[in-house]
């Protein structure tokens, strides 16, 4: 069985910074179950085009029967932001169609989303609003 590539707050931050985004990140859950946060880590990024991503890893996946080892984040939830508000992508994209959040995204999917949002021209929103597609 192929295992997904694990993601950490640092690896996600690095992906976004390499794409030219300004990034803020924090870890939530510690190694202890009594930690108050419901997520492992959270990352927010804003690209030069004004579009942003909010990435949350909500829980660990356990790769072995003993919970002290093998705890990883294989999947994350990704929300799209425009002007600081949740939004959808205009028609014609593979992501965020009819929704502002993509759940259960693996490392490769996250790379695709980052490339899509980074290269988006925000003027497409105005164009699709004029044509009635948005």
Q: What is the pLDDT of residue 43?
A: 92
Residue 125: its H or E element: helix 123-131
Least confident of 25-29, 108-112, 117-121, 123-127: 25-29
Digit-coded pLDDT (tens) for 51-101: 999 999 876 665 555 555 555 678 899 999 998 899 888 888 888 888 889
Q: Is residue 71 part of a domain?
A: yes
Residue 15: its H or E element: helix 9-18
Q: Is residue 3 part of a domain?
A: no
State the residue range of the domain holding 42: 9-131
Q: Is residue 4 part of a domain?
A: no
Is the whole-model pTM more than 0.95? no
Indicate whether 48 pLDDT > 60: yes
Q: Give the 3-state DSSP-derived string for 72-115, with helices as H, strands as E and coil as C.
A: EECCEEEEEEECCEECCCCCCCCCCCCCCEEEEECHHHHHHHHH
The phi and psi torsions of 64 (rounded to 5 degrees) equal -145, 165
> Per this entry, what is the length of the chain?
134
Q: Is residue 1 part of a domain?
A: no
Q: Is residue 2 part of a domain?
A: no
Number of structural domains the chain divides into: 1
Q: What is the pLDDT of residue 31?
A: 54
Q: What is the pLDDT of residue 63?
A: 58
User: Between 44 and 93, whose confidence is greater?
Assistant: 44
Digit-coded pLDDT (tens) for 4-28: 777 888 899 999 999 999 999 988 6
Q: What is the pLDDT of residue 134?
A: 60
Q: What is the pLDDT of residue 1?
A: 42
Select from 109, 87, 112, 114 the least CA-distant residue to 100: 87
Q: Is residue 107 part of a domain?
A: yes
Cα–Cα distance between 81 and 54 in angstroms, integer?
7
By CB atoms closer than 10 A (0-12, 13-18, 19+), residue 73 is buried
Q: Is residue 14 part of a domain?
A: yes
Q: Is residue 47 part of a domain?
A: yes
User: Between 63 and 45, whose confidence is greater?
Assistant: 45
């Amino acid at each position: 069985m192929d295992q997904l590539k694990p993601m950490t707050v640092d690896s996600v931050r690095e992906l976004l910074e390499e794409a030219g985004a300004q990034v803020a990140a924090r870890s939530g859950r510690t190694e202890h179950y009594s930690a108050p946060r419901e997520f492992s880590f959270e990352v927010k990024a804003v690209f030069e085009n004004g579009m942003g991503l909010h990435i949350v890893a909500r829980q660990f996946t356990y790769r072995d029967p003993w919970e002290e080892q093998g705890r990883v984040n294989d999947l994350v939830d990704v929300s799209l932001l425009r002007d600081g508000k949740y939004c959808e992508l205009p028609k014609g994209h593979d992501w965020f169609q009819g929704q502002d959040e993509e759940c259960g995204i693996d490392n490769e999917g996250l790379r695709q989303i980052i490339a899509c949002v980074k290269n988006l021209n925000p003027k497409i929103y105005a164009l699709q609003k004029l044509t009635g597609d948005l």
